[in-house]
């Protein structure tokens, strides 16, 4: 065979051996490129749209948002916040406006509002946005229509909420115990209760707390009398005026149960113009831990306040973050997460006040509560007291 013939076969030989060689190399390139693409995807921040049912000056929601922002910074979550009101019309309008912003958010977080939230569920179900509920339960009248998360609406991935019914019950029983300890039965023969609530049929929070109050009273018929429930629409000034009428109509009132702290302060405003001394002649209990409310408990003007659920917004973000990165919280805590409210009384008010007066949540590394970042984390722990102890 001549040299020229051998050389002429070289291109054919190269083509023959090169093909299998390239096929062998192809998986190597794939193995290298896939993790790089995955890492780049994970580095992109998650966008979460948050709809709040109150103006920005409302203390409870200010506390919640402050906590959420600290969690979002640690997890590199982009927050889009829209303030609204408890009006179902305004809430629906503002929520749909937020959902339509482009590029669309990955997740939409809101409380449940009768007549509004079903529109959000319909919208997100037809879009790429997933939804998460916090702060309030689904209204009982709409449970069959809406279902629990991932039942009828697959894009409703979960909810976290306080046990408001138990909270209403616990507050009533706590006030009853304090009244007995302070000798009200010996002095007045019975514990005479008046309640101030929002009277908002669209609010599961208000309705559930009143349900808990009524259950407590049903268990205390031998020494407790319910004088009346008065609606004041979450308003401090309205509650002040209503309280004056209550004390005129029922001068023997010795306990006022309030469904929210702004209303409790309305009661105190009315008493400041009356001879009755709060904490002595009349016991007042409420919900939420605004600085003004903790001051009033520490001084003894308010007898108790229950809260701890303003951290739900932050916990929502942690659960969403893990879900987004492939660790589904439903496998460990379910999709309907209920947390109990914690009481502050004069006995522990100073501790809570010191911790919650201008709390620096940025001092806490919230990645430790994420299963994506903390591989050793087996169970989510939503205990408020534990996280409070981590504050300096």
Residue 330 has pLDDT above 50, yes or no: yes
> Which comes out higher in pLDDT, residue 156 or 113?
156
Q: Is residue 283 located within the same domain as residue 329?
A: no
Please tell me whether residue 366 adopts helix, strand or coil conformation.
Answer: helix
Residue 13 has pLDDT above 50, yes or no: no
Say if 13 falls within a structural domain: no
> Which comes out higher in pLDDT, residue 341 or 385?
341
Q: What is the pLDDT of residue 124?
A: 98
Q: Is residue 232 located within the same domain as residue 214?
A: yes
Q: Is residue 293 located within the same domain as residue 317?
A: no
pLDDT > 70: what percent of the chain? 89
Other Cβ atoms within 10 Å of 236 Cβ, number:
17
Say if 40 falls within a structural domain: no
> Which comes out higher in pLDDT, residue 35 or 377?
377
> Would you place residue 200 in the very low, low, confident or very high pLDDT band (cuts 50, 70, 90)?
confident
Q: What is the pLDDT of residue 43?
A: 56
Say if 278 falls within a structural domain: yes
Whichever domain contains 145, its CATH number is 3.40.50.2300
Q: Is residue 316 located within the same domain as residue 302?
A: no
Residue 391 has pLDDT above 60, yes or no: yes
Integer Cα distance of 344 and 195 in angstroms: 19
**Crossing angle, helix 291-299 and helix 59-75, to 10 degrees?**
120
225-284 pLDDT per residue, tens? 999 999 998 899 999 999 999 999 999 999 999 999 999 999 999 999 988 999 999 999
80-100 pLDDT per residue, tens? 999 998 788 999 999 999 999
H-state helical runs in the chain? 3-8, 10-43, 59-75, 88-99, 117-125, 143-146, 164-181, 184-188, 204-218, 236-249, 261-271, 291-299, 312-324, 330-333, 349-356, 384-388
Average pLDDT on 70-85 reads: 96
Please give the span between the terminal C-alpha atoms of the chain, in angstroms, as a whole number. Answer: 89
Q: Is residue 71 located within the same domain as residue 152?
A: yes
Q: Is residue 188 located within the same domain as residue 158?
A: no
> Mean pLDDT, the chain, as a whole number?
88
Q: What is the pLDDT of residue 60?
A: 85
Nearest Cα to 44, choosing from 233, 321, 261? 321
Say if 90 falls within a structural domain: yes
Other Cβ atoms within 10 Å of 89 Cβ, number:
11
Say if 281 falls within a structural domain: yes
Q: What pairing do the DSSP bridges indicate for beta strands 342-345 and 304-307?
A: antiparallel
Contact 134, 117 (CB under 8 A): no
Say if 356 falls within a structural domain: no
Please tell me whether residue 354 adopts helix, strand or coil conformation.
Answer: helix
- Determine which helix (DSSP H) or strand (DSSP E) holds 337, and give its type and residue range: strand 336-339
Integer Cα distance of 122 and 124 in angstroms: 6
**CA distance to 69, 124, 268, 308, per residue, from 314 (Å):** 8, 21, 32, 12
Classify residue 128 by burial, with Cβ atoms within 10 Å: 0-12, 13-18, 19+.
exposed
Q: Is residue 183 located within the same domain as residue 156?
A: no
- Transcribe 134-196 into DSSP letters: ESSPPPGGGHHHH-STTTS-TTEEEEEEE-HHHHHHHHHHHHHHHHHHTTHHHHHSSEEEEEE
Contact 298, 346 (CB under 8 A): yes
Average pLDDT on 349-367 reads: 94
Q: Is residue 242 located within the same domain as residue 295?
A: yes
How many domains is the chain partitioned into structurally? 2
> Would you place residue 17 in the very low, low, confident or very high pLDDT band (cuts 50, 70, 90)?
very low
> Would you place residue 302 in the very low, low, confident or very high pLDDT band (cuts 50, 70, 90)?
very high
20-30 pLDDT per residue, tens? 433 333 333 23
Residue 324 has pLDDT above 50, yes or no: yes
Q: Is residue 268 located within the same domain as residue 325?
A: no
Integer Cα distance of 331 and 339 in angstroms: 18
Q: Is residue 270 located within the same domain as residue 313?
A: no
pLDDT > 90: what percent of the chain? 74
Q: Is residue 181 located within the same domain as residue 109?
A: no
The residues facing 156 across adjacent strands are: 131
Say if 37 falls within a structural domain: no
Say if 283 falls within a structural domain: yes
Integer Cα distance of 100 and 119 in angstroms: 13
> Which comes out higher in pLDDT, residue 4 or 37?
4
Domain that holds residue 89: 45-162+309-343+361-388
Q: Is residue 141 located within the same domain as residue 202?
A: no
> Which comes out higher in pLDDT, residue 38 or 171?
171
């Amino acid at each position: 065979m001549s040299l020229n013939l051998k050389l002429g076969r070289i291109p054919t030989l190269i083509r023959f051996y090169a093909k299998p060689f390239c096929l062998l190399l192809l998986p190597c390139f794939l193995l290298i490129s896939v993790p790089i693409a995955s890492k780049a995807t994970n580095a992109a921040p998650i966008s979460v749209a948050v709809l709040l049912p109150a103006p920005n000056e409302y203390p409870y929601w200010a506390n919640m948002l402050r906590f959420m922002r600290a969690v979002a910074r640690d997890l590199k979550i982009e927050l889009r916040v829209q303030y609204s009101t408890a009006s179902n019309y305004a809430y629906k309008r503002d929520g749909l406006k937020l959902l339509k912003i482009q590029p669309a958010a990955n997740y939409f977080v809101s409380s449940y509002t009768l007549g509004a939230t079903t529109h959000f569920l319909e919208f997100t179900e037809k879009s790429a946005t997933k939804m998460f509920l916090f702060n309030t339960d689904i209204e009982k009248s709409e449970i069959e229509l809406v279902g629990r998360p991932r039942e009828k609406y697959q894009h409703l991935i979960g909810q976290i909420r306080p046990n408001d019914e138990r909270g209403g019950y616990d507050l009533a029983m706590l006030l009853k115990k304090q009244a007995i300890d302070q000798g009200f039965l010996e002095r007045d023969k019975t514990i005479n209760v008046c309640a101030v609530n929002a009277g908002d049929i669209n609010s599961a929070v208000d309705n559930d707390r009143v349900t808990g109050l009524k259950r407590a009273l049903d268990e205390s018929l031998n020494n407790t009398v319910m004088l009346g429930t008065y609606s004041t629409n979450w308003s401090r000034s309205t509650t002040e005026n209503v309280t004056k009428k209550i004390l005129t109509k029922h001068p023997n009132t010795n306990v006022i149960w309030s469904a929210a702290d702004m209303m409790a302060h309305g009661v105190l405003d009315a008493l400041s113009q009356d001879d009755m001394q709060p904490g002595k002649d009349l016991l007042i209990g409420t919900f939420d831990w605004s600085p003004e409310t903790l001051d009033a408990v520490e001084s003894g003007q308010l007898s108790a306040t229950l809260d701890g659920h303003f951290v739900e917004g932050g916990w929502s973000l942690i659960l969403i973050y893990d879900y987004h990165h492939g660790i589904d919280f439903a496998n460990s805590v379910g999709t309907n997460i209920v947390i109990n409210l914690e009481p502050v009384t004069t006995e522990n008010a100073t501790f809570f006040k010191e911790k919650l007066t201008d709390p620096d949540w940025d001092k806490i590394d919230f990645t430790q509560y994420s299963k994506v970042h903390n591989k050793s984390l087996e169970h989510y722990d939503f205990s408020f007291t534990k996280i409070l102890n981590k504050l300096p």
